[in-house]
Amino acid sequence: MVQYSQARLDASFAALSDATRRGVLEQLGRADASITDLADRFHMTLTGMKKHVGVLERAGLVTTEKVGRIRTCRLGIRALEEEAAWIERHRQLWCERFDELDKIVEELKAKEKAHAGRSNK
């Protein structure tokens, strides 16, 4: 079984749980941006955007660099491989459960059809 770092997963999923932070990641996937640019793009205050970027930074999804008065944000070096593996594992578990449920439903339908056929005779 794959071992996951609980704190890392918690930080990543907490960071990804917010639509603005997901939007920031999408934006940074296209090009680096200053916090000011991000705040303008998302119609937020600088303070609000700094908080969002801080959450992403603590999760390792974004890095920032301050040059003069400008803090530039870029995607972090770490990919979401661990998170994707966790999601895939749980997706497989759900698929297996739904496959079993489908089998039960089909068995019940077959029994119902057989019972209905006997009742009509």
Mean pLDDT by 10 residues, the chain (121 residues): 73 94 96 97 97 95 94 88 87 91 91 78 61
What is the reported pTM?
A: 0.74
DSSP state of 72: E
Which of 40, 60, 75 is the last residue in one of the domains?
A: 75
41 and 10 housed in the same domain: yes
11 and 28 housed in the same domain: yes
Per-residue confidence (pLDDT) for residue 115, from 0 to 100: 80
Closest to 74 measured CA to CA, from 63, 66, 65: 63
Contact 24, 48 (CB under 8 A): no
* Residue indicated by tokens 């090009």: 31
43 and 64 housed in the same domain: yes
SS3 content of the chain, % helix, strand, coil (to 5): 70, 10, 20
What whole-number distance in Å separates Cα of residue 62 and Cα of residue 70? 16
104 and 60 housed in the same domain: no
What whole-number distance in Å separates Cα of residue 90 and Cα of residue 87? 5
